[in-house]
Amino acid sequence: MIIIGDVHGCFKTLMALIDKLPKDRNISFVGDLIDRGPLSRDVVKFVRENNHRCVIGNHEDMSMNNTHDWLKHGGMQTFSSYSDDEKGWEDDQKWFLDLPHFISFPELKDEEGRALLISHSSAGPVWELDQDGDEFKHSLMWNRLKPSSPKGFYNVFGHTPQRDGALLGEDYANIDTGVFYEDGHLSAMLFPEKQIITQELIDDVKFKS
Q: Give the integer Cα–Cα distance in Å for 28 and 188.
A: 10
Pairing of strands 185-190, 195-200: antiparallel
Averaged pLDDT for residues 165-193? 97
User: What residues are paired with 53 via a beta bridge?
Assistant: 28
Flag whether pLDDT at 70 surpasses 80: yes
What would you report as the CA-atom Rg of the chain, rounded to the nearest whole angstrom?
16
Flag whether pLDDT at 107 surpasses 80: yes
Flag whether pLDDT at 207 surpasses 80: no
Q: Give the integer Cα–Cα distance in Å for 2 and 90.
A: 29
User: Looking at the domain that runs over 2-200, which CATH code has it been given?
Assistant: 3.60.21.10
- What 3-state class would DSSP assign to 26? coil
> pLDDT tens digit string along 7-39?
999 999 999 999 999 999 999 999 999 999 999
> pLDDT tens digit string along 124-154?
999 999 999 999 999 999 999 999 999 999 9
The backbone torsions φ and ψ at residue 86, rounded to the nearest 5 degrees and listed phi first, read -60, -40
Please give the mean pLDDT across all residues of the chain: 96
Domain borders along the chain are: 2-200
